[in-house]
Amino acid sequence: MAKTNYKALLANRMEQDFSKWLAQPHVQEREVYRFLHTMKGTAGTIGLMELSEFCGQQLDSFAEDSTELLPVQALNSLMETLKGFFASEGAVSEKAASDREEAPVKESFVLVIDADAQFAASVKEALEAKGIPVVIALDAQKGMEFFYTLQPQMVILDRTLPDADGFELVAQIHEATKNRFLPIAVISADDRMENRIRSMELGATDFLAKPLDMPFFTAYVSNRLRSQEGLSHGSLYDELTGAGNRTYFNQVLQQTAALADKTKTVFTLVLLDLDHFRKVNDTYGHLAGDEVLRTFSALLLKMKRESDYFFRYGGDQFALILPDTNAKTAAALIDQIRSAFAETGFSFSLSEPFQVSFSAGISEYRQKRDVPVNMADSALYQAKQNGRSQTIVSERTADDIRRHLNLIIVDDDSLVRRLVSKQFSGWKPQDFDLRIEEYIDGASFVESSWYKPEENYMILLDGIMPKMDGLEVLNHMRSQYPHENIIISMLTSRNNESDIVLALKNGADDYIVKPFYAQEVVARVERLTMRMFK
């Protein structure tokens, strides 16, 4: 469906609502509030920003829970004004809608660990207004789970948490990331010098006193993220090839194995060795050898998937770590790289053109007793013994288990459901099947037979719906179902209000404020589901 059709669909749905109002003498005030709330979120999502802002302003004139009956004739002016937004051809352009749907999502994100949900929500609002995604945890347990599974680019945590001493978390995070230059900021209303000193001694990079000056704070976070990116790249990457270095390899391998153990998933390690590379150096010189290494690395960096990690393991040996990937899939990727590298010709000085091949050993990690480096190294040795220029997969095999992620969209707004479903229809996870289900309201979702204990779920839950609102559904789910295989993100048109705070306190893993970029929703779902599928 063309993006511009969403405007017509929204106009038609609005006219249907108005027809229902006009068929009766009175309308409940809360029904008008709910209508404006929905219009605000949907209009902004499809690019009708002026309409979205107008509906947001009108919400202040109506009470969400009021059952007072309003004369329909008193709503005539409001209805005519809303119709005017659709009569104007300039209300939205195809480019505006496209810009919202295709806007880029930045990779860096911040983890905020703070028991004060209202404060955490305000931090999230301020940073995301600057394009910096934020994930919130209201206690230490949730915070450390997010830290290990999501691998944030910065951590901001309060000195006092309900289930742990904030200083203990600083020490744990610093120990786990001492080679990553991860910014760790301690925030507290108690800014005594001993607390500041203790924070620095344990590995924090900063101590910030509450209340925060938000303009300074957002600039500070942006600064730290830029610095972290520069420092990490300089210390973790090989200068000649641009591949990750041995230190970075060890760090990623350890983290990937720990996550695989926790989530019971697999990953694959590939060791690659250039064939007869010493002969290249001896025949053409070390400058020529360096050029071969750079060319090979550039090809790998271009052809690997975005989720894969590439390293210079040592000399002319390289490594690939492929998260959530089985050996068969890894071998197919290596075959593609081999074919592309075989077409690469080298010529130095007056020498005849020549090609360089490589050998590869692959190991698939499935359980703690596996030693992926030794397994891949043995397979690589076998490949070289067998004549080089080939790939050998470690002999241990196991049946590949196909898993599922059920994405459930619960929203009474059909346009929002359609937009989100459309965006996810283009998401093709490699080793699990994505199933998308839609429910028109909370009651129909709760009453359905949606849950299977052996499967995993990501639920996008609207905050305000008829019959049963999002908070009621959230409370029902957290009381009736386990947390491990269900992740819940609230969708709301409110920003930093009581329902956001209640959602976080009652077990929501995240919330997304309408209007949103549909692409942003996909990125957040990918990030949040990493604990189930890395």
Active-site annotation, residues: 316
Supply 66's token pair. 């009021």
Residue 45: C-alpha distances to residues 16, 177, 520 (Å): 20, 38, 11
User: Which of 454, 331, 437, 330 lies closest to 403, judged by CA?
Assistant: 454
How far apart are alpha carbons 420 and 390 in whole angstroms?
43
| Residue spans of alpha helices (H) in 438-480 | 442-447, 470-480
Phi, psi of 152, rounded to the nearest 5 degrees: -70, 165
Supply 213's token pair. 């000056």
Phi-psi region of 442 (alpha: psi -120 to 50; beta: other; left: phi over 0): alpha
User: Which of 235, 394, 241 lies closest to 314, judged by CA?
Assistant: 241
Three-class secondary structure assignment of 233-264: HHHHECCCCCCECHHHHHHHHHHHHHHHHHHC
The residue with tokens 């786990």 is 176
Distant-in-sequence, close-in-space partners of 106: CB < 8 Å, separation ≥ 6: 131, 132, 133
How far apart are alpha carbons 416 and 3 in whole angstroms?
13
Can you state the angle between helices 29-45 and 49-58, rounded to 10 degrees? 160
Contact 357, 389 (CB under 8 A): yes
Point out which residues pair with 28 in neighbouring strands.
Answer: 69
Contact 75, 20 (CB under 8 A): no
The residue with tokens 């910096």 is 132
Contact 445, 408 (CB under 8 A): yes
